[in-house]
Amino acid sequence: MIELSVTLGIIISLFFIEKFGIAAGGIIIPGYIALQLTTIDRLIGLIIISFATFLIIKLISKFTFLFGRRQMVVALLIGTILSIVSHHLLVINTPNTTIELSAIGWVIPGLIAHSAAKQGFAKTTAMIAITSVIVRLLVIIIFLGEQLPQLY
């Protein structure tokens, strides 16, 4: 299911980039987020970490020439560091449940922040939401309504 979701995410991302000229974070982002749409706490954590990475990139770019590959590398590095920190610090254990405000993956926040630095955080987030839901719906349709099919 992971392979199908990522593949559909790539196809949908390419279509939306060509049709509307707005990227959904990175070309692989919708597929991974589509698999996490039922974990709201992880999605909130992803938005928080991506936005923090975005703000740090904007701050750094005021003092240095940060664009292109250099911006991509810095975004990935900061996103990875913040993501690792979130996996350790943003996990809240309550008597009934565990709330994980940690980011999804290590690379995803940096990819989102890099894309947001070019086209704006609101546009990027909106496009991620649209494409991820489309990918999730397609996966559900392909698996005949089974929301989380058995992988093995």
What confidence tens digit (pLDDT) does each residue in 61-77 have? 999 988 889 999 999 99
Q: Is 136 inside any structural domain?
A: yes
pLDDT band at 151 (very low <50, low <70, confident <90, very high): very low
Residue partners of 87: CB distance under 8 A and separation at least 6: 102, 103
Q: Cα separation of 87 and 109, whole Å?
A: 13
100 bridge partner residues: 91
Total domain count for the chain? 1
Instruction: Please give the residue range of the domain that contains residue 105.
Output: 2-142
93 bridge partner residues: 98
Q: 22, 119 in Cβ contact below 8 A?
A: yes
Please count the CA atoms within 13 angstroms of the CA of 143 that sit on its side-chain side. Answer: 16
Q: Is 150 inside any structural domain?
A: no
Q: Is 92 inside any structural domain?
A: yes
Q: Is 74 inside any structural domain?
A: yes
Q: Is 46 inside any structural domain?
A: yes
pTM of the prediction?
0.89
pLDDT tens-digit map of 11-51: 999 999 999 999 988 889 999 999 999 889 999 999 999 99
Q: Is 151 inside any structural domain?
A: no
Q: Is 134 inside any structural domain?
A: yes
